[in-house]
Amino acid sequence: MLDHTPKEIKERKAVVINPAKTCQPLGATYAALGIHRCLPHSHGSQGCQMYFRGHLNRHFREPAEASTSSFTEGASVFGGMANLKTAINNVFHIYDPDMIAIHTTCLSETIGDDLPTIIRSSEKPEGKYIIHANTPSYVGSHILGFANMTAAAIRYLSAKTGAPNGKILLVPGFVNPGDMREIKRIMKAMGVDYTMLPDTTGVMDAPLTGNYHIFPDGGTRIEDIIDAGNCLATVALGQFASGAAARELENRCGVAPHIMDTPMSIDVMDDFLMLLSRLTGREIPAELEEERGQIIDIMADLHQHYFGKRVALFGDPDIMIGLTGFLLELGMIPAFVLTGSPSNDFEKRVNALLAKAGVAGRAKAAGDLFALHQWIKNEPVDLLIGNTYGKYIARAEDIPFVRVGFPIMDRGVHSYQPVVGYRGLMRLLELMGNALLERQERDAKDEDIELIM
């Protein structure tokens, strides 16, 4: 357990203890699962893909189908070309996907396999597609892998025909299907025609019907990815997970990119709606204005439970930036904000938000949970927010804990519920408020327990 973490902080340069991230291929796998009838393929050993699939299975409680090149000692020495060509042939003939999305692993990247050449020299059925992304596990994190695979889909497929489709290409970032459904509901309420890439709704939250399908009904259609080059603009929600795809479409087809934060605060959600209105000429509907008024009302009604509370949070960079903004809007203090993803911009972004609000806090990229735990030991907080791995810190330090982000493996239903948009903010308020009030009631003396808090 983490209750043996020492309070004294010593400088560490080469050792990561309890990392706050996982590796690129997992993010690439999740992005590929968001394309209709696409089978993710891991070009490496069988154990690698089993790890990625296992993490996705546990978080979503859904099958995450994928194939692998199944490297053994021979491929490790002589390269994986033969393995990949055989895999491509087998996958198309046995599983019949419309597309194979290949990502690399540590082993194939270290060997130096030339995937574009291997793909060009491989046979594939007529009307089928193969794309690839380089995703070495020793660089970046699962967020970079997600970004690379999403950009790869555009690089391989998108084309500009000169016939504008009037759509917005919407890149939602590394979020749950519940978040994607909420974003799609907002787009529908705005009356905006769009393509979402990737789209894991109907895939990682597919209904139980009694009939198994290796390729569920959900996911972005390949023809819509091809047509993305004719879109009016790209709106990328979260610069770390979605920015690469927006820039790729601009470079390839000249589609204007609009890269913004994940809409997890009032300010950013307002900016999102105003951007859609400017791009399309659509008015913001009364139902969204009503939801905004509701979340503001809740914040005012319950401000006494949140104001001044110190919070430690960790997770993916886009989610952390969004959460930091929302906590500051509530009058809370994001004392520690940590991501495991390496980034030159993350600390600047968080520190800018803290400085604007006049709040003192500490931000760290490429951090780990050992460091976060030490910070909390030295400067205690009132609330911890993060994925399942934070439960050990919460237990050791007896801190209320709210699960947000990826992966959450010890609870269910979370992947169906949004944390983005005005409705998502309502849910976050409920989760945080309940955690704080349950702690207050647990610690209260018998004579201090009140019926109405």
Detail the DSSP E strand segments found in 322-432.
Answer: 333-338, 362-364, 383-386, 401-403
For the CA atoms of 141, 377, 330, 425, the dihedral, rounded to the nearest 10 degrees, stands at 40
Q: How far apart, in whole angstroms, are the C-alpha atoms of residue 42 and residue 429?
A: 39
List, in sequence order, every beta strand (DSSP E) within 179-244: 194-196, 233-237
How many Cβ atoms sit within 10 Å of the Cβ of residue 233?
20
- Say what the pLDDT of residue 11 is: 86
Which CATH number fits the domain 302-448, given the four candidates 3.40.50.11540, 3.40.50.1980, 3.30.930.10, 3.40.1180.10? 3.40.50.1980
Nearest partner of 130 among 39, 228, 20, 220, judged by Cα? 39
Is cis: bond before 216, omega within 30 of 0?
Answer: no
Q: Which residues of the chain are in CATH 3.40.50.1980 domains?
A: 24-157, 168-287, 302-448
Q: What is the pLDDT of residue 2?
A: 55
Class at the top of the CATH hierarchy for domain 24-157: alpha beta
Q: In terms of Cα–Cα distance, which of 110, 196, 101 is closest to 155?
A: 101
Q: What is the CATH number of domain 168-287?
A: 3.40.50.1980
Provide CB contacts within 8 A for 60, sequence distance 6+: 176, 177, 204, 205, 415
Q: What separation in angstroms does the CA of 306 have from each of 39, 65, 363? A: 44, 42, 21
Report d(CA 100, CA 125) in Å as an integer: 12
Ranges of the chain with pLDDT below 70? 1-2, 453
Shortest CA distance to 386 belongs to which of 361, 406, 370, 410?
406
pLDDT for position 374: 97
